[in-house]
Copies of this chain bind each other. A is one copy, B any other.
Amino acid sequence: MEGFAGKITIQVSEKVYLKQPDSTVLGQKIVAGAIDMIDEIGFEDFTFKKLAKAISSTEASIYRYFTCKHNLLVYLLLWYWGWQEYRLILATTNVEDPKERLRRALKVLVEKTQKDATFSQVDEEKLSRIVISESGKAYFSKAVDHENEMGYFKQYKDVVQGVADLVLEVNPDFKYPHMLVSTVIGGAQHQRYFAEHLPKLTDVIKGEDAVSDFYMDLVFKEIEA
């Protein structure tokens, strides 16, 4: 199993990079270094110059992989949702009962993200925090429509579509599967952030994973007409 798992890589649309970061040592250092730095100082303060210094390279070299820092962020987001897609497949294949399939899929999406040993070069916990804090900067931009056409949000949309299909397997008459799923995914991420920084916007209950409990309950109450 080890050798098998070791060969898995998450494919990211080549439209977001100039040169595949996976393919070289420098490329991998850029991605790993960017995850560290964006998690630490935030995307606004993150610059290619600082990253270059941190990984002992140069600004110009990083520009050979990504046209701009925005695209590097989009790359990270696409990788994250590609990874979630892979985890969804692992969690649901060979599970027969539709309700159980949906339950397992939701678990992947609403539970707190943990490190995945399959991809040693990526720190998924840090990446998850980046996805929570910085996604808005990618989605809510004046370039959305163009970037959507370029496939910048494909992976995320696929995840939503996949889980929406599972919802329909449980209740084929449910009218709002995409809305429910995107609400739950986005909501769970926000709640985890709120719990840490704006606790008045959430309900933290000690000893319980309130976020998981709440959203799991919400989905099944909503679709079980």
Contacts and interface: CB of A to CB of B under 8 A. Distances in A.
Interface residues of A, number: 50
A144 B210 CA distance: 22
Contact of A160 (B137, B148, B179, B201): B201
Given A142-B41, A179-B214, A190-B182, A200 B132 contact: no
A135 to B, nearest CB: 8
A137 B139 contact: no
Interface in A176-200: 176-180, 182-183, 186-187, 190-191, 193-194, 197-198, 200
A211 interface: yes
Contacts of A221: 221-222
A42 interface: yes
A95 interface: no
Interface in A198-215: 198, 200-203, 205, 210-211, 214
Given A183-B191, A211-B179, A214-B176, A142 B203 contact: no
A136 interface: yes
A157 B217 CA distance: 24
Interface in A124-163: 132-137, 139-142, 144-145, 148, 153, 156-157, 160-161
A14 interface: no
A175 B197 contact: no
A182 B192 CA distance: 12
A96 interface: no
Given A41-B142, A133-B140, A218-B222, A179 B198 contact: no
18 contacts: A42-B142, A132-B140, A133-B140, A139-B198, A140-B193, A144-B197, A148-B198, A175-B214, A176-B210, A176-B214, A178-B201, A178-B203, A179-B202, A179-B214, A180-B214, A180-B218, A183-B187, A221-B221
Given A148-B197, A187-B187, 12 more contacts: A45-B142, A140-B193, A156-B201, A175-B210, A178-B201, A178-B202, A179-B203, A182-B191, A183-B183, A183-B190, A186-B190, A217-B222
